[in-house]
Amino acid sequence: MSSTAFAGLELGQPAPNIEGTLIDGKPFSLNSTKGKVVLVNFWASWCEPCREEMPAIETYLKKNKTKGFEVLAITVDKPTDMEQAKQIMRNYSFLFADKNQMNYSGYGRIWRIPSSFIIDKQGILRKNGLTGDPKVDAKLLEEIVTPLLLAQ
């Protein structure tokens, strides 16, 4: 694995921008979310662990959205699975995007899913979804996101 695969993905460094169009047609740019803590989640409709972690993320989002927490879920589904992905997303209040409509090249190749990246209010990467345990649960959100939400 060459170090260029992780180019720009250093914890404590500015997170690369992600921009494009959400499924609902709205434009999105990670750079414009400064002042919020953002969880970027790469997932797929056929991925069991992806679907398992979503209810915990949704519960945390509902509790903390007013405090400046946002979730961007980017599906890596093939076009043929898009309908299923949309069905799943109806249960959640995440910002939802198709990988083909988003530019996330600064993150390199997303080689595992789920992969979640957490970016703080200053746009600094606090969790790299390509290293460590990929699973996101209530405990992880409390440990990583809650202090970031409280930080000024």
Instruction: Give pLDDT, residue 10.
Output: 87
Instruction: Give pLDDT, residue 124.
Output: 95
> Among 7-21, 35-49, 79-93, 137-151, where is mean pLDDT lowest?
7-21
Instruction: Give pLDDT, residue 4.
Output: 40
Mean pLDDT of all residues belonging to the chain: 92
Query: Distance between CA 136 and CA 96 in Å, rounded?
Result: 17
Contact 47, 112 (CB under 8 A): no
Contact 127, 144 (CB under 8 A): yes
pLDDT average, residue stretch 85-107: 96
Closest-CA residue to 78 (of 97, 100, 47): 100
Instruction: Give pLDDT, residue 9.
Output: 82
Residue 49 has pLDDT above 70, yes or no: yes
Q: Which helix (H) or strand (E) holds 6?
A: none
Residue 19 has pLDDT above 70, yes or no: yes
Query: Distance between CA 116 and CA 38 in Å, rounded?
Result: 10
Residue 6 has pLDDT above 60, yes or no: no
Confidence of residue 3 (pLDDT cuts 50, 70, 90): very low
pLDDT average, residue stretch 95-102: 97
Question: Which pTM value belongs to this model?
Answer: 0.93
- Only one residue has tokens 């290293």, namely 131
Going along the chain from its start, the domains and CATH numbers come out as: 37-150 (3.40.30.10)
Confidence of residue 1 (pLDDT cuts 50, 70, 90): very low
- Only one residue has tokens 């093939």, namely 78
Confidence of residue 8 (pLDDT cuts 50, 70, 90): low
Q: By CB neighbour count within 10 A (0-12 exposed, 13-18 middle, 19+ buried), where does 106 fall?
A: middle
Instruction: Give pLDDT, residue 151.
Output: 87
